Amino acid sequence: SSSDAHSRNKCAACYRQFNRMEHLVEHMRASHHSPHEPRCGVCGKHCRSLDALRDHLGFGASLPPKPACATAFAAKGCPLCHLSRPPVPSRAMPRVAVGGVVALGCKMVGGGSDGTLDVCGRVCVIDENETIVFENFVRPLLPVTHYRYETTGIRPEYLRDAPTVKTVQRQVEDILLNGEQPWKIRSSRGAARLLVGHGLEHDLNALGMDYPAYLKRDTAEYPPLVKTSARLMSNSLRFLTQSCLGYEIQTGHQHPYEDCVAAMRLYKRMRAMRHGQPKNGGEGDGCAAVAFPARRQRELERMSPEELLSMSKPDYHCWCLDD
């Protein structure tokens, strides 16, 4: 019957309907659906990001939400939210990091003739327990033309006797490498630490540093935390902290410790989500072609939507696998 055909051509993850089975197979190739995607706890729909899940539940969506899902969410609330804002710490002596994960945060002052060039003025590194491992002002190599005091709270005298960016770079690198040689971690982690942050590439560039992509956990680029869009667009750390953790940051003078804590909490919450170990091999951008090879097209078209979903693989490393 027509209804049976429509049910057969319906994606088992996002519930999108297709007229032909071959279109569903092509959708599965492109979508990278997997158990690691955010899912509605009521109807089970897979969403590409938490923003998409919020739209499904009716928060800022252009279409009305599914009533049962919206009602259940309103009654139970979000399991991610309602953490307290961390107190801004006083200056502390560096301590030894606990565990294999640290978070990095930088505050930028302005360089260049118009003060729009970001140069690092302050750095903070914390461990998984939100304890400061390293924190200091930084004396940039370029002249500072705008201290951005309203947000950074940094004055000229704070940087005058501060260590240079080269010195701070070595200290942060020592924390990350944790005794490993820089060349070795390109292919093998060893004792090197995972690095958490928001916009890590920007912060590392400001410090003149590089770090292997497989050791970075960036809340600005993690697919479940990005904006709902065909293109990957980052949400601000302030928005993610308010929407996912339930408190405000970056008000008044901003301390990088607060950014570190927010990024670390987001990482730990995402890591704590239990999706189960994948049954279909590895992950990565090349997995879809392996999961749905063109030479098996006719065989794939005879499979049920549930069988296709069981074969599908994510196109990113889910942080739940870090445990």
pLDDT at 51: 85
Region of poorest pLDDT, from 47-56, 121-130, 150-159 = 47-56
pLDDT at 82: 46
More confident residue, 122 or 6: 122
CA distances from 12 to 22, 47, 132, 259, 264 (A): 15, 12, 45, 38, 33
Report whether 323 contacts 271 (CB < 8 A): yes
Condensed to tens digits (0 to 9), the pLDDT of residues 210-250 reads: 999 999 999 999 999 998 655 568 899 999 999 889 889 98
For the CA atoms of 74, 80, 82, 88, what is the dihedral angle to 10 degrees?
-150
Interval 19-36 mean pLDDT: 91
Tell me which residue has tokens 């027509």: 2
Report residue 307's pLDDT band, with 50, 70 and 90 as the boundaries.
Answer: very high
For the chain, list the domains and their CATH numbers. 101-272 (3.30.420.10)
Take residue 228 and report the two structure tokens written for it: 């709902």
Cβ-Cβ contacts under 8 Å for 186 (sequence gap 6 or more): 212
Residue 268 pLDDT greater than 90, yes or no: yes
Report whether 245 contacts 80 (CB < 8 A): yes
pLDDT at 3: 54
Residue 92 pLDDT greater than 70, yes or no: no
Reported in sequence order, the residue ranges of the chain that DSSP labels E, i.e. its strands, are 101-111, 117-127, 132-137, 144-146, 194-197, 216-218
Take residue 158 and report the two structure tokens written for it: 């704070």
pLDDT at 41: 81
Query: How far is residue 261's CA from residue 306's CA, in Å, rounded to a whole number?
Result: 39
Which residue stretches of 15-114 are H helix? 21-31, 50-56, 67-76
pLDDT at 93: 57
Residue 91 pLDDT greater than 60, yes or no: no
Interval 150-176 mean pLDDT: 96
Pairing status of strand 144-146 against strand 117-127: unpaired
Report whether 171 contacts 155 (CB < 8 A): no
pLDDT at 64: 55
Which one, of 285, 273, 202, lies nearest residue 237 by Cα?
A: 202
pLDDT at 282: 46
CA distances from 243 to 169, 224, 309 (A): 33, 13, 29
Report residue 197's pLDDT band, with 50, 70 and 90 as the boundaries.
Answer: very high
Region of poorest pLDDT, from 59-73, 208-222, 278-292, 293-307 = 278-292
Residue 7 pLDDT greater than 80, yes or no: no
SS3 139: strand
pLDDT at 55: 81
Enumerate the β-bridge partners of residue 26.
none
Query: How far is residue 223's CA from residue 315's CA, in Å, rounded to a whole number?
Result: 9
pTM of the model: 0.85
Query: How far is residue 15's CA from residue 52's CA, in Å, rounded to a whole number?
Result: 14
Condensed to tens digits (0 to 9), the pLDDT of residues 133-149 reads: 999 999 999 999 999 99
Take residue 272 and report the two structure tokens written for it: 């704590």
More confident residue, 253 or 105: 105
pLDDT at 99: 74
Tell me which residue has tokens 């005091």: 149
SS3 217: strand
Secondary structure of 142-169 in the HEC alphabet?
A: CCEEECCHHHHCCCHHHHHCCCEHHHHH
Query: How far is residue 30's CA from residue 230's CA, in Å, rounded to a whole number?
Result: 12
Task: Please report, rounded to a whole number, the percentage of residues in the chain having pLDDT higher than 90.
Answer: 59
pLDDT at 281: 45
Neighbouring CB atoms inside 10 A of 195's CB total: 23
Residue 285 pLDDT greater than 50, yes or no: no
Q: What is the DSSP string of 2-21?
A: HHHHHHHTB-TTT--B-SSH
pLDDT at 261: 96
pLDDT at 240: 93
Most confident of 2-11, 47-56, 116-125: 116-125
Query: How far is residue 176's CA from residue 187's CA, in Å, rounded to a whole number?
Result: 15
Q: What is the mean pLDDT of the chain?
A: 85
